[in-house]
Homo-oligomer: A and B are copies of this chain.
Amino acid sequence: MQIETEDPHETINNYKLRIDERISRFFDRKEAETKDDLSRRVIRMIREYTEGGGKRLRPIFLVLGYRLFADENNAIFDASISIELAQSYLLIHDDVIDDSDLRRGKPSMHIRLWRSFFPESEKGKKMGEGLAIVAGDLAETYAHESLINSDFDPSLLLLADMELTKTIEMTGYGQFLDVVSGTLNDFRENDLIRLHLWKTARYTLEGPLAMGALLSGRHDQIMDLRLFGRTLGIAFQLKDDILGLFGDEATTGKSIYSDVNEGKRTLLMIKAMEFSDRQDAEFIDRILRRGNVTQEEFERIRNIVMKSGSYDYSVKLMDSLVAKSKEYLNRIRGNSCAKTYLSWLSDYLVARDH
Interface residues of A (CB under 8 A from B): 34, 36, 38-39, 42, 93, 96-99, 117-118, 121, 126-127, 130-131, 133-135, 137-138, 140-142, 144-145, 148-149, 154-155, 157-158, 161-162, 165-166, 168-169, 172-173, 175-177, 179-180, 183
Contact yes or no, B137 A168, CB < 8 A: yes
26 pairs, A vs B, C-beta closer than 8 Å: A38-B173, A38-B176, A39-B173, A42-B173, A42-B176, A96-B130, A97-B130, A121-B183, A127-B179, A130-B179, A131-B180, A134-B172, A134-B176, A135-B176, A137-B175, A138-B169, A138-B173, A141-B166, A141-B169, A141-B172, A144-B144, A145-B165, A148-B161, A148-B162, A148-B165, A158-B158
**Which residue of chain B has its CB nearest to the CB of A92?**
B133
Contact yes or no, B165 A144, CB < 8 A: yes
Q: What residues of B have a CB within 8 angstroms of the CB of A162 in the complex? A: 144-145, 148-149
CB distance from A173 to the nearest CB of B (A): 5
User: Top 9 closest A-B pairs, CB basis?
Assistant: A97-B130, A141-B169, A154-B155, A138-B172, A144-B165, A154-B154, A39-B173, A134-B175, A154-B158
Contact yes or no, A168 B141, CB < 8 A: yes
User: Could you tell me the distance between the alpha carbons of A69 and B180 in the complex, rounded to whole angstroms?
Assistant: 48
Q: What residues of B have a CB within 8 angstroms of the CB of A117 in the complex? A: 180, 183
Q: What residues of B have a CB within 8 angstroms of the CB of A135 in the complex? A: 176
Q: What residues of B have a CB within 8 angstroms of the CB of A157 in the complex? A: 154, 158
Name A's interface SS. helix
New A-B contacts (11) at CB < 8 Å, excluding given A117-B180, A134-B179:
A38-B176, A93-B133, A93-B134, A121-B183, A131-B176, A137-B140, A137-B172, A144-B161, A145-B169, A154-B157, A154-B158
Among candidates B126, B137, B165, B177, residue contacting A141 with C-beta atoms closer than 8 Å:
B165
User: Could you tell me the distance between the alpha carbons of A239 and B149 in the complex, rounded to whole angstroms?
Assistant: 37
Contact status of A133 and B96, CB under 8 A, knowing A158-B157, A183-B117: yes
**Which residue of chain B has its CB nearest to the CB of A143?**
B165
User: Could you tell me the distance between the alpha carbons of A142 and B168 in the complex, rounded to whole angstroms?
Assistant: 10
CB distance from A186 to the nearest CB of B (A): 14
Contact yes or no, B133 A180, CB < 8 A: no
Contact yes or no, B179 A93, CB < 8 A: no
Contact yes or no, A126 B99, CB < 8 A: yes
Contact status of A180 and B38, CB under 8 A, knowing A97-B134, A134-B93: yes
User: Could you tell me the distance between the alpha carbons of A158 and B147 in the complex, rounded to whole angstroms?
Assistant: 11
